[in-house]
Amino acid sequence: MRASSVVPQEEKMTSKEGYIHKEGIQIQNWKKRFLAIEKTVISYYTNEYKRDKKGEIKIAAIKEVKPLSFYKNRSYVFAVVTTGRTYYIQGSDDENRQRWIDAINGVLGRSPTGNKGAVISHSTSKAHLLSEPKKVGVSDFQQLKVIGRGGFGRVLLVKKKDTGQYYAMKILKKSSIVSRGEVIHTRTEKSVLAKIDHPFLAKLYYSFQTDEYLYFIMDFINGGELFFHLSIEKKFTEDRARFYSAEIISGISYLHQHGIIYRDLKPENILLDRSGHVVMTDFGLSKEGLNSPTDRTITFCGTPEYLAPEVISGESYTKAIDWWSVGTLIFEMLTGLPPFYDQNEESMYEKIMKSDIKFPHHLSHEVVDLIQKFLIRDPQSRLQDYELIKKHPWFATINWDKLLNRDLTPPFIPAVKSSDDIGNIDKEFLEQEVDEEDDDENNSPVQPDAFGGFTFQPPVKAGN
């Protein structure tokens, strides 16, 4: 039995102030700012400590607040039009943008507009007004089978009623999330999923909520967990491990390029689709905002077998910890166990910090060299350059352009008959009732705004 992931602790949330991105007036780039609505001004600072004020918008000068369908290829932007200039501000999602607009309208003495009555400028096209999507909710899906269950809720196979498309619906009970200090974990997962678009990373189609539950609507990936297939076959050939590793490395590199550190790479979080390609899932332990190679964080979280030495020692760390996990995963795919595995967790940590790796004789010199480079304990010396990784001799047979286009034939095709095939799902889940209540012993109270900004729905492009 593997140890479960260690999760970060809860963080404090505030209202009528928070981080946004704002376009500069002189150099028209976008900077992260902490916006605070005050009595007579809207101030923006470099951070939440409000020590470095960068400017302010006088409330008396505001003429109009309006959402923009798209602005310079950015979504969720709204404009604050004043007598002197127009400020362009980007929220984190559609719901977050609307909350800012309503808050500003509130201090102006205007009624909140809501999504239906949002202030639209004359320059907003009629096509955009017609393209506002219908809000999607629970009633739009037929719930078919339980396909997974965890500490916070369950996952169902569902079918969208108007299209007949099959999806996985992840249902989380709010009170369970709050009682276990997982609000930030859940909000981060939604935030990351809403931003990413990559062939080997899970795709989010919708997220929404009711008074009791949160819902993620995602692809139904029915080829089985990588952990499931590895447990059956005990170990993979180098060709098969190389293919999975290359797709995973492509996904990790994409996350890093977008300032996201994954922090929970393991076979349980990697699914195979019906064609045999990998799909990385579960971004709750991810961390956003690490845009520079030197940006660091310090939260202790992850799965024990895959933790990098700098995490165990309590140091601040960079995105280099994900590459340690990649090396650990490659070793496990080829041997059946992580390189420093021990049933005693403290002993395992000791091995991660100090022990040499024992490589089986059947492994090629090339893969041994690659694993050794990923498992260098000094993160500054660890292999983490995507271009250098692609050029490593073990990947000599991989055409990385074809890989990214999914043009390489996977070495293993799961036994999947159709898009709703549940043959690779554990029967323990399939026998459960879809409307069975989730256990919740604590039943902690949920603040009304605890999951503000959770709703996600991709915009409908004009003409569709």
Q: Which helix (H) or strand (E) holds 254?
A: helix 238-257
Neighbours of 315 (CB within 10 A): 12
With CA atoms as reference, report the closest residue to 229 among 409, 420, 361, 413. 413
- State how far the Cα of 179 lies from the Cα of 134, in Å rounded to an integer: 33
Two structure tokens written together for 34: 């902490």
* Strand 153-160 versus strand 166-173 pairing type: antiparallel
The active-site residue out of 93, 94, 219, 264 is: 264
Residues 290, 259 contacting (CB under 8 angstroms): yes
* H or E segment and range at residue 102: helix 94-107
Is the four-CA dihedral 236, 241, 242, 244 of positive or negative sign? positive
CB contact at 8 A, 220 and 168: yes
Distance CA 147, CA 56 (A): 51
Helices (H), 300-354: 309-312, 320-335, 345-354
- What one-letter code names the amino acid at 239? D
CA dihedral 428, 429, 431, 436 (to 10 degrees): 130
- Cβ(215)–Cβ(321) below 8 Å: no
Cα 244 to Cα 239: distance, rounded to the nearest angstrom: 9
Q: At 460, give phi and psi (nearest 5°).
A: -85, 125
**Residues facing residue 58 across a β-bridge:** 41
| Residue 264 annotated among the catalytic residues of the structure | yes
Query: What's the CA gap between 295 and 350, in Å, rounded?
Result: 27
Residues acting as catalytic residues: 264
